Amino acid sequence: MKILLKSVKIIDKKSDYNGQIKDILIEEGKISRIADKIEVKADKVVDSENLHVSTGWIDMRVSPKDPGYESKEDLSSLCRAAAAGGFTRIVTLPNTKPIVQTKESIAYFKIFSKAQVVDILPAAAVTKNGEGKDFTEMLDLHHAGAIAFTDGEHPLWNADILLKTLQYLYPINGFLMNRPEETTLTLFGQMHEGIESTLLGMKGLPSTAEELTVMRDLKLLAYAFSQVSDKSRDSALHFSTISTKVAVELIREAKANGLPVSCDIAAHQLAFTDADLKEFDTNLKVNPPFRTKADIDALQAGLADGTIDVIVSDHNPQDEESKNLEFDMADFGIIGLETAFAVGNTYSKLTIEALINKLTVNPARLLRLPQETIQEGANANLTLFNPDTEWTFTEKHIRSKSKNTPFIGHTLKGKVIGVINKNQLV
């Protein structure tokens, strides 16, 4: 199949054509030609106003729900939602039923995604059933294709397990992701602990619960790192969805001290504060919770100076039975694949080039993936978008099975036009 992209601005700092407007011809899944003007008969032509192209975006935190919770999301709807959001590769959390802790469960995702435009990169559980008590067969799972190790929605509460995991994974260049939360401090919590939670009469999720875990994990990382001779390794420990000012400061200091650490934030954390929960909209019930304006300012500063490496969707579909309830009974989570780019573009204060790096170069580096680039002869793994289009997100834009999002009716800036991967254009 021949695909011709007309007058497209290339956003790829690794490409010789970065920042230039060119025509791009794709033949049988490869970029065959890049030139000022290409006149050729193509099967599909993409010619859109203010068209931009980058290498395909990567989402490092997606809850797949399949197998086990297919009423909320199945792999087909997940891939449709990812493509609609501009993602050609997604890292899935292991919290399915059964949990992803066997070679067969890794194969389930990899085989399904072979025919899809979106590549599913499954992360495997660190501990059996995600309970934090005993290890999975991580070496076997690594060789079976697990992209990373995490207990996903469950923080690694056991300090000894976390330390031994770091020591175990380091020789094989493994990648550990942990969501920082001291769960004994957040039991029964519903929203950020502060003035707003007090006024609303709801149990809070304190910032301290996140920050204590970041402190602990960094201390354990420093201890494990002091015992290895090869200190050239990229990040060995990744904090998923940090949300507080102090967490940003702790990670910034750790990076300055040379620790192999990285982190991400969920795009939606930039858009709301705890003050927005006054109407008890369960679509705003997320964990980590929406915090304060000071925390958002710190997240934006962390994105700008490189402390925060990646922006993720934290896509977590929930059906009506899980969300259409009293606030304290509703499940946490929102869908984010379709809106992550636009929300990040609207609220992050990053340039488009810096934002695209948070979606492409940085996640590929952290996940030990080959760096894609836009050059003649390269694989055509691409995302097409217009960074300046302002549009209103409505229910018709949702490709996920679930509709749990607070962004319906919101005007966002930046729209995905399509994705190209594996000789497919969507």
**For 196-240, how does the pLDDT look when each residue is reduced to its tens digit (9 = 90+)?**
999 999 999 999 999 999 999 999 999 999 988 777 778 999 999
Instruction: Compute CA 67 distance to the chain's CA centroid, rounded to the nearest angstrom.
Output: 20
Which pLDDT belongs to residue 227? 87
| Residue among 34, 30, 32 at smallest CA distance from 17 | 34
The Cα–Cα gap between 423 and 28 comes to 6
| Residue among 128, 282, 105, 260 at smallest CA distance from 191 | 282
pLDDT tens for 147-159 read 999 999 999 999 9
Which pLDDT belongs to residue 286? 98
Residue 391 has pLDDT above 90, yes or no: yes
Residue 36 lies in a domain: no
Place of tokens 């502060």: 194
Helices 293-305 and 352-359: angle between axes, nearest 10 degrees: 90
The Cα–Cα gap between 282 and 291 comes to 15
Which pLDDT belongs to residue 228? 84
Tell me the mean pLDDT in the region 94-121: 98
The Cα–Cα gap between 207 and 224 comes to 26
Q: Is 426 helix (H, G, I), strand (E, B) or coil?
A: coil
Place of tokens 């050239």: 232
- Contact by Cβ (8 Å): 116, 80: no
pLDDT tens for 75-92 read 999 999 999 999 999 999
Residue by residue, DSSP assigns 6-52 as EEEEE--TTSTTTT-EEEEEEETTEEEEEES------SEEE--TT-E
- Contact by Cβ (8 Å): 296, 270: yes
Residue 333 lies in a domain: yes
Structural domain count of the chain = 1
Active site residue ranges: 314
Q: Is 63 helix (H, G, I), strand (E, B) or coil?
A: coil
The Cα–Cα gap between 201 and 199 comes to 6
Residue 29 has pLDDT above 90, yes or no: yes
| Residue among 222, 270, 215 at smallest CA distance from 239 | 215
**HSE-CB for 365 with a 13 A CA cutoff:** 16
Q: In this structure, what token pair is assigned to residue 138?
A: 């991580």
Q: Is the pTM of this model over 0.75?
A: yes
Residue 415 lies in a domain: no
Residue 10 lies in a domain: no
Q: In this structure, what token pair is assigned to residue 283?
A: 């679509």
Tell me the mean pLDDT in the region 327-345: 98
Which pLDDT belongs to residue 99? 98
- Measured CA angle at 185 (ends 184, 186), to 5 deg: 95
Which pLDDT belongs to residue 233? 74
Percent of the chain with pLDDT over 70: 100
* 74: CATH: 3.20.20.140
Q: Is the peptide bond before 206 cis (omega within 30 degrees of 0)?
A: no
- Across all residues in the chain, what is the average pLDDT? 97
Residue 397 lies in a domain: no
Domain region containing 140 = 55-375+402-408
Residue 258 lies in a domain: yes
Residue 340 lies in a domain: yes
The Cα–Cα gap between 52 and 36 comes to 15
Which pLDDT belongs to residue 229? 75
Residue 13 lies in a domain: no
